[in-house]
Amino acid sequence: MNHKVENVKIAYIGGGSQGWAKRLMNDLALEPRISGMVSLYDIHPEAARKNAEIGNRVSERPEAAGKWKYEATGDIKEALADADFVIISILPGSFDEMASDVHAPEKYGIYQSVGDTVGPGGMIRALRTIPIYKEIAQNIKAYAPDAWVINYTNPMTLCTRTLYEVFPEIKAFGCCHEVFEVQHLLADMVQEMTGRAVERRQDIHVNVLGINHFTWIDRASYQNIDLMPLYKEFVQKYAETGYEKEPGSWVNSVFSSANRVKFDLFNRYGLIAAAGDRHLAEFMPPVYLESPEKVKEWKFHLTPVDFRVKDQQMKVERNQKVAAGEENFELAPSGEEGVAIIAALLGLEELVTNVNMPNNGQIANLPHGAVVETNAVLRFNSVQPVLAGSLPVDLQGMISRHVANQEAVLKAAFEENRQLAFNAFVNDPLVAPIGLEQAEALFEEMIENTKSHVGGGFVRDRNAYASS
């Protein structure tokens, strides 16, 4: 008989989520070995209550093998009390602040395809996210110090880094699915180049090293095949046209690309860039993001915030129907690994996957303590990052610049040090070309647009906002 673990408690911070929460419900319902309770906490209690209704409806369905009780709460202490796992997936601020992150820099000729990790948008988003994560970390320390904490919020690196800065003993890591997509791409490559079908992306074994959304693979294999030479041939074949499983499909989704940026980076550095083109482009000088026309040439997209607003509204409307019992959603695996991670930490299986954790030597030539992304082995109550090795010196230089900026942004947020934050801001590869004077004007505008979420030390007239 298969072992089962009952009475597991998951605290979901951001439990009013219109996307991630549904993926969790799906995957929990399809996992027969675990059952328990999910406490949904959100600053928008009604959204959490709707999700609780949906979760309980899903759990009642006969095809739901995993049985869970969902409860909504506006009290984070109640959500965290006795939690075995804490999942964090929040939107820091609103779409208004996100619109500023992404679109304010366009007036200065800076284009961003995502705007949530690096670049001017990623940095300003971090400055308003870090205070939220300080508070979350303090609550976890007080009410759930032994829980495993799984972060999905971006900027992934700085969210995870903040948790450890506040609570060094926390058992936390960040999860990102970008590497999964590259495994799928490599599986497609194996099929095309060798005729051998790859049943699961997990059968593509990769060594991962870097920082979130600027992660690299220096070793890849499938069964007895070294994939690095094969990938070189694949890149040569598709460097100019790009590769898609269904040709032309990148045009139809703002989240899709033809992998041309990824292939160009391989030709530059000799390693497989293990993230989507939209993320990768933002870490580089404006080679790929020079203009909207240049973005189209590279066959990826700028993701406008108005698209996200409309997409969110569609999700809200659909979820209202599901909560009211007017519509069902199909129970199918989400492709995420959150529930597999929980199963591994409960001792039900062993899992190797990529995680974001403080560097304790897993990447030899990046700073100790900085949050890095590598594989880890997950077993009962254990997440052990693997020794991934060293980055090539040219990539080390690129990545170290971002690591230094992220550490400066963290320190600036904790100290409310405007000058330090600006110094990091202007050191970003997308910002540096516009010069100090324009960078100062852009920084001032973006800080003004997010002033209600950052400390008073960031605002020129401190007294005007000190009580907010």
The β-bridge partners of 219 are 207
Q: Which amino acid is at 184?
A: H
Q: Residue by residue, what is the 3-state secondary structure of the chain?
A: CCCCEEEEEEEEECCCCCCHHHHHHHHHHCCCCEEEEEEEECCCHHHHHHHHHHHHHHHHCCCCCCCEEEEEECCHHHHHCCCCEEEECCCCCCHHHHHHHHHHHHHHCCCCCCCCCCHHHHHHHHHHHHHHHHHHHHHHHHHCCCCEEEECCCCHHHHHHHHHHHCCCCEEEECCCHHHHHHHHHHHHHHHHHCCCCCCHHHEEEEEEEECCEEEEEEEEECCEEHHHHHHHHHHHHCCCCCCCCCCHHHHCCCCCCCHHHHHHHHHHCCEECCCHHHHHHHCCCCCCCCHHHHHHCCCCCCCHHHHHHHHHHHHHHHHHHHCCCCCCCCCCCCCCHHHHHHHHCCCCCEEEEEEEECCCCECCCCCCCEEEEEEEEECCEEEECCCECCCHHHHHHHHHHHHHHHHHHHHHHHCCHHHHHHHHHCCCCCHHHHHHHHHHHHHHHHHHCHHHCCHHHCCCHHHHCCC
CB contact set of 384 (below 8 Å; sequence gap of 6+): 376, 377, 378
Catalytic residues: 177
